[in-house]
Amino acid sequence: MLLALLPIPCIIVAGVVIYRSKQRKLTAQMNRRIEDLELDIRNDIRQGFVDLQTERADLMENVGAIPFLDYKHFASRIFFPEGGALMTSCIRDIGQDVVKVRPDECCQALSKLIREQHFLTCMVHTLEEQKSFTIKDKCAVASLLTVALHSDLCYLTQVMEELLQALLLQAGASQPKLLLRRTESVVEKLLTNWMSVCLYGFLRESVGQQLFLLVSALTQQIAKGPVDSVTEKALYTLSEDWLLWQAQDFTSLKLKVHFAVGSDGEVSDPLEVSALSCDTVEQLKDKILSTFRAKFGFCYSAALRDVRIEYEKSGSFVPLEEVDGSSEVIGDVTMLNTLKHYEVPDGASIKVLSKKTHPPVSPQGSLKGKQHFPVCFSHKPPG
């Protein structure tokens, strides 16, 4: 009986030894992987530091090309970011060369009414109580009030303070942490406009250059990695919500870009543009125009939608389009053409033409304007 039970402890001991041996091997393997990962991260950090040091000079060269807006265009873009007739009227009304016209009796009466603080605050509260009064309407009313009271910022400040007090009392008990985080009321848009007006001089004279360099550096870093043309998510981003988790393989390219001069085939001297093999045609256009603006300090004569590009291959030029007959179709989804799809190599020559002077044989507008663009088209292959 004892002889029959004797192998059991031996088996248990052997099992424990084997288990611990496997655990040690697994731990050692995990430690090696962690060390390799740390080494890769250190190498990426070193390379990133080197890139930042070498590209800092490029940013500093463009300080003189900072596109500062004059006050009326700055204010109009803040007040009416969507543009349109209101923006045009705003530029005319706050311009320095305004021809003063005597308003009619109705305008004079309205001007007197909005100068009554009690009436103005009651009007704003009444408008916001209307269910059909959308956020877009609230922003428009706030911007129109800012333009109307632009010459009397002291009175505008008093009105804004009273409306802010009412907003604090209303939202203080329910959602105090969300207060002023989103522009969902007239007074929040008023506050945005008021701060923009007051800070314009400080931005232009003191911190404008630093902010421009910061934004330029962030844009430059984002452009170094893939950016999904459909979802606009990026591999190199500061926001986890906009992180491109599954990035496709890519290589960096240096392209020689020539701009067509006139209609007789002449081209400009080459401009070196950095791109990625995974960039779509529209993304390449945007990088070309951005590099042009950073290099020369002014925008290219044609807008992005009015530009088409061609790739020089074996002595002939191949037009590059977002979607054409060679586009890959997977089910109901059409893959957007990339530089890798067209087999554009490093150092390739790209010609930029204006659609007005060089109309394409088969015109194609921007695909992003289509209603079902995110559903019908894809930038990255399904994985």
Record the pTM. 0.65
Angle, helices 135-148 vs 85-93, to 10°: value is: 20
Q: Considering only CA atoms, which of 352, 277, 341 is closest in space to residue 310? A: 352
Q: Which of 37-41, 56-60, 121-125, 296-300 bottoms out in mean pLDDT, i.e. has the lowest?
A: 56-60
Is pLDDT of 382 > 50? no
Phi, psi of 127 (to 5 degrees): -65, -40
Angle of CA points 350, 355, 359, to nearest 5°: 100
C-alpha span between 294 and 64 (Å, rounded): 10
Q: Which residues contact 351 (CB under 8 A, 6 or more apart)?
A: 257, 258, 259, 260, 267, 309, 310, 311, 312, 317
Is pLDDT of 57 > 70? no
Q: Residue 289 is encoded by which pair of tokens?
A: 């125009």
Q: Which of 43-57, 119-133, 229-243, 348-362 bottoms out in mean pLDDT, i.e. has the lowest?
A: 43-57
Q: Residue 91 is encoded by which pair of tokens?
A: 């530029």
C-alpha span between 280 and 358 (Å, rounded): 21
**Dihedral angle over CA of 332, 337, 343, 346, nearest 10:** -150
C-alpha span between 353 and 373 (Å, rounded): 25
Q: Residue 237 is encoded by which pair of tokens?
A: 């981003």
The amino acid sitting at 176 is P
Which of 67-71, 299-303, 338-342 has the highest mean predicted lDDT (pLDDT)?
A: 338-342
pLDDT digits (tens, 9 = 90+) for 309-329: 999 888 888 899 988 888 888
Q: Sign of the C-alpha dihedral, residues 361, 366, 369, 373?
A: positive
Q: Which residues contact 186 (CB under 8 A, 6 or more apart)?
A: 124, 127, 128, 138, 141, 142, 145, 163
Angle of CA points 218, 56, 52, to nearest 5°: 65
Domains (range + CATH), the chain: 71-204 (no CATH), 240-328+337-363 (3.10.20.90)
β-strands 329-330, 316-320 pairing: unpaired
Q: Which of 33-47, 143-157, 218-232, 256-270 bottoms out in mean pLDDT, i.e. has the lowest?
A: 256-270
Q: Considering only CA atoms, which of 157, 162, 138 is closest in space to residue 197? A: 157
